Structure 1
Amino acid sequence: MDYSVALVEENRLFGDLIRRADPALPVPTCPEWTIQQLFRHVGRGDRWAAQIVAEQRDAPLDPRTVGGGKPPADPEQAIEWLHEGARLLIDAVGTTGPSTPVWTFTGPRPAAWWIRRRLHEATVHRADAALALGLPYELSPALAADGISEWLDIIGQSRGDGPAPLDAGSTLHLHASEDTLDSAGEWSISLDDRAIIWDNSHSKAGAAVRGRAVDILLALTRRLSAANADVEILGDHSIWDTWLERTGF
């Protein structure tokens, strides 16, 4: 998958949704946010990541200090500001070098890590906008599956002080219904010394989640309940409930 191409396209689709939305419209899946705040979050986030990469930072950057972090007042210029942020990130990775290590919230990673991260930030926040507007939301099975994998990577790489997403001995299996995904549409998740580990294998688990990849992604990131996402939960429902309680996008 070409993450740069996908980021530009998702950024465009997000902008198209925002262009026709009331800036003051509440976003139920991002409590206390409006469409305008969601828009600023995505647009400034791309520029934040671009500056981290361009400066080859080894420490966090305060988002409030990001250059050009405030969108123009004119709606059309604001959309161009959004699109420019994605291009700045792609250009920064190209200049710095995709393999150059830079700061991320999961530890030092290759600069190209940020393109994939910002891509999936855009896919989920586009869902936020679509749900707020009452519009349908779709994502290709391959991109949705990659979003699930990327999210599991982040959870596995992030060790906090709180409880692990799974209790000791619990296992979780996600299974996308699209035949075109093959093994990329299955995720077996378990716990190893408080860290989440996963692979693309088929396994019998304490709880199994089945549905389209895009629907699993929306349920996994708590954008829709399993029932509203048309996702089936088999086995011990408490394992899934615990996972959701202890993870957040």
Structure 2
Amino acid sequence: MTALTYDRYCDEILAQTDELRALLKGADPAARVPTCPDWSLRELAAHVGGAHRWVGEIVRSRATEDIPEERIPGYAGPDGEGPAALDAWLAEGADTAVAALREAGSGAEVWTWSWDRRTDFWVRRMTHETVVHRADAALAAGAVFEVAPEVAADTIDEWLRIVAFSQAGGDPEAAELRGGGRSLHLHATDVPDAEWLIEFGEEGFTWRRAHEKATVALRGPLTDLMLVFNRRLDPGSDRVEVLGDAELLDFWLERSSF
């Protein structure tokens, strides 16, 4: 499957934000988000818009260290309480972030919390931050969630890289994702070659695109695999199928989180 380009990521940040805004129109802003139970829909939207502004300011200023939230203009949310103010604020945050990312371009050096201190990390991270939280909003609003297969696949790829980074950085939960002789296979039933094999070793885990027998396999439509992997869909859902040692899949899901 073809990797997404820098420009495609920029386009996706805008498109995914527009779809999130569409979901919020007519929805109850006080509705709880089942996959983020501490948040209402409005608080979810504020998180996304704040993240866009934070990254936009990091990139715009070519920051060499983290920027505290209180120094980000407009970070806390819109001035008004109504849905129109929230909608405009979300659109402005995405537009500002993408404008900064496009102006900086691929390869520009900036602060990140990750293994990659370039704008390329942020443009990808903000794409998938927006995708996954749009899924949260869809679940809260009772709406259908769909995403392009190449975006869903890249969400899984990025998440594996983040979990591996967390493990290498000493995260206590991610550190437990080890132990030789076990493996996890993700198999999309609707997209050719959208498969992953995660293998647990004594020092950690590795992954590659492969179709091989594993200790446990998760099968289903690619978008649903992505949702399970991001803990947005229960693996017991009838939308996916778990074959083999289901406890190993649960073990992974319990220990792979931010």
Q: TM-score, normalised by structure 2?
A: 0.88
2:125 aligned with 1:113: no
1:168 to 179, 182, 185: 179
Unaligned runs of 5+ in 2: none
Measured in 2, the distance between the counterparts of 1:216 and 1:90 equals 28
Paired position in structure 1 for 2:57? 51
Unaligned runs of 5+ in 1: none
1:135 to 130, 139, 143: 143
SS in 1 for 2:33: coil
Measured in 2, the distance between the counterparts of 1:233 and 1:34 equals 31
Paired position in structure 2 for 1:87? 95
Paired position in structure 2 for 1:247? 256
Matches within 5 A, 1:1-249: 1=4, 2-69=8-75, 70-73=77-80, 74-158=82-166, 159-163=169-173, 164=175, 166-169=177-180, 170-178=182-190, 181-183=191-193, 185-192=194-201, 194-228=203-237, 230-248=239-257
Measured in 2, the distance between the counterparts of 1:17 and 1:127 equals 10
- Deviation of the 1:42 alpha carbon: 0.3
Deviation string, structure 1 residues 73-127 (Cα, Å, up to 9, x no partner): 1422321221121221222122223201222222343202212211111111111
The residue type equivalent to 2:107 in the other structure is S
Task: Flag the 1:126–1:137 CA change in 2: closer, same or farther, 3 A.
Answer: same
The residue type equivalent to 2:78 in the other structure is P
SS in 2 for 1:31: strand
- Deviation of the 1:204 alpha carbon: 2.0
Residue 165 of structure 1 contacts residue 243 of structure 1 at CA under 8 Å; is this kept in 2? Answer: no
Q: TM-score, normalised by structure 1?
A: 0.91
Measured in 1, the distance between the counterparts of 2:32 and 2:38 equals 7
Identity value in percent: 39
SS in 1 for 2:187: strand
Residue 33 of structure 2 contacts residue 140 of structure 2 at CA under 8 Å; is this kept in 1? Answer: yes
Measured in 2, the distance between the counterparts of 1:196 and 1:116 equals 23
Residue 171 of structure 1 contacts residue 207 of structure 1 at CA under 8 Å; is this kept in 2? Answer: yes
- Deviation of the 1:53 alpha carbon: 1.2
Residue 171 of structure 1 contacts residue 205 of structure 1 at CA under 8 Å; is this kept in 2? Answer: yes
Measured in 2, the distance between the counterparts of 1:32 and 1:112 equals 30
Measured in 1, the distance between the counterparts of 2:202 and 2:236 equals 32
- Deviation of the 1:17 alpha carbon: 0.8
Residue 58 of structure 2 contacts residue 111 of structure 2 at CA under 8 Å; is this kept in 1? Answer: yes
Greater shift, 151-160 or 122-131, is seen at 151-160
Deviation string, structure 1 residues 160-191 (Cα, Å, up to 9, x no partner): 3304352311211111112xx433x1111124
Measured in 2, the distance between the counterparts of 1:136 and 1:229 equals 16
Give the CA RMSD over aligned residues. 1.8
Greater shift, 168-177 or 94-103, is seen at 94-103
Residue 155 of structure 1 contacts residue 196 of structure 1 at CA under 8 Å; is this kept in 2? Answer: no
Greater shift, 38-47 or 128-137, is seen at 128-137
The residue type equivalent to 2:220 in the other structure is G
Residue 178 of structure 2 contacts residue 205 of structure 2 at CA under 8 Å; is this kept in 1? Answer: no
Greater shift, 133-142 or 210-219, is seen at 133-142
